[in-house]
Chain A
Amino acid sequence: MMLQTVVFSGLEFSPLVVYFPIAFALSALTRYVLHRLDWHDRIWKVAWFEVSLFVCYLALTVFLLSGR
């Protein structure tokens, strides 16, 4: 799948407007799963962990959806 641009009623947007929500949703999902498994409290510096995970998810989304 390749996503070069997002076109909405004739307006062209950067695909990042899609990538960011996807990465955010993945981060939220991970956070939920970690809570359910009760691992969340065991992570050292949980804020760093979550922000880093979001960046990783974003890069992964860009890599997979841009056809590179």
Chain B
Amino acid sequence: MAKSLRITVTVLVVLAAIWAGRWVWNDYMHSPWTRDGRIRADIVTVAPDVSGWVTTLNIANDQPVKKGDLLFSVDQQRYQAALNQSKANTENALYSWQLAKHKYERRTALLSQKAISDEDLEESRISTEIAKANYDLAVAQQAAAQLNLDRTHVFAPVSGHIINLNLRQGNYVGQGASVFAIVQSGSFYVTGYFEETKIPLVRLGQQAKVTLLSGGKPLSGRVVSVGKAIANSNTQSDGQLLPQIQQTFNWVRLSQRIPVDIKLDPIRDDVQLSAGMTATIHLTQ
């Protein structure tokens, strides 16, 4: 074999290797993909609006619920008593108002006979207004008591699945303290944590291929948002309000990860998704 042919073969293979190596490098380093993706979902925490013992619990862990379903009830006795008290107050205020009004009307008639002073009449009118205001106050208090009584029943704010139910019948629950969460149905999305060097390659509406660690056919989706901020540890201060600056190596720097949200296209029924699952994400160029 002629020497020139031998040299040509080797040179061609070396050139092909340079081209192929460059392609592999670009494919891994300069294409928008990440192995650091997580499945996420909208989580709604459920907290009672009134305190008390849980008297009925209608749900089990991981159970699907529909919006408006009764989840649990809080002991009503105290709120029923408060409502009864408010009703009695309202009635009392109503009669006081009627009495004041009656007196005022009678005194208005007396004025024409010059049997009452202007001042007494004015006093009577103001007393009627006060009684009216007291009545309005009692009505408002009754409405609040009724609201508290109604809120002893806790309904599902959204459709979804119950998560982390540690609540049991007989537990005491506090007003505003979350007792479990609901994963909203159909709210699954993916957040990919892309290296900041790859962010220029990410754009809104870009098609995404999401491969779950659990395998199966890849899911498809679209980029809906790119995170506009991540925490910066250098902004913290110490006890003397001095800035705490982290040391870095000048030679080796780790690129930051920027969250990119991807809305999934409608998912097939056979795909099991749980928020928190790991996913690999490739975006189209």
* A45 nearest CB neighbor, chain B only: B10
Contact B13 A56 (CB under 8 A): yes
Q: Tell me, yes or no, whether B35 is within 8 Å of chain A by CB.
A: yes
A interface with B by C-beta (< 8 Å): 2, 4-5, 7, 12, 14, 42-45, 48-49, 51-56, 58-60, 62-63, 66, 68
Docked complex Cα distance between A14 and B13 (Å): 27
Additional A-B contact list (6), CB under 8 Å, known A12-B278, A48-B14, A56-B16: A5-B35, A5-B280, A14-B35, A43-B10, A52-B10, A60-B20
Q: How far is the CB of A19 from chain B (nearest CB, A)?
A: 9
The count of residues in chain B whose C-beta lies closer than 8 Å to any C-beta of chain A is 23
Docked complex Cα distance between A41 and B224 (Å): 58
Contact A49 B13 (CB under 8 A): yes
Contact with A along B1-31 (1 / 0, CB 8 A): 1010011011001101110110110010000
Known: A12-B278, A43-B6, A52-B13. A62 touches B213 (CB 8 A): no
Contact A48 B20 (CB under 8 A): no
Helix, strand, loop or mixed for chain B's interface?
Answer: helix
**Chain A to chain B contacts (Cβ below 8 Å), 9 pairs:** A5-B35, A43-B6, A44-B3, A45-B10, A48-B14, A52-B13, A56-B16, A59-B21, A63-B23
Chain A residues with CB under 8 Å of B27's CB are 62, 66, 68
Known: A12-B213, A52-B16, A58-B20. A42 touches B6 (CB 8 A): yes
Chain B residues with CB under 8 Å of A56's CB are 13, 16-17, 20
Contact A44 B10 (CB under 8 A): yes
Docked complex Cα distance between A38 and B14 (Å): 21
Chain A residues with CB under 8 Å of B6's CB are 42-44
Q: Tell me, yes or no, whether B89 is within 8 Å of chain A by CB.
A: no
Partner of A42, one of B1, B13, B17, B215: B1
* A19 nearest CB neighbor, chain B only: B24
* B15 nearest CB neighbor, chain A only: A52
Partner of B17, one of A2, A43, A52, A63: A52
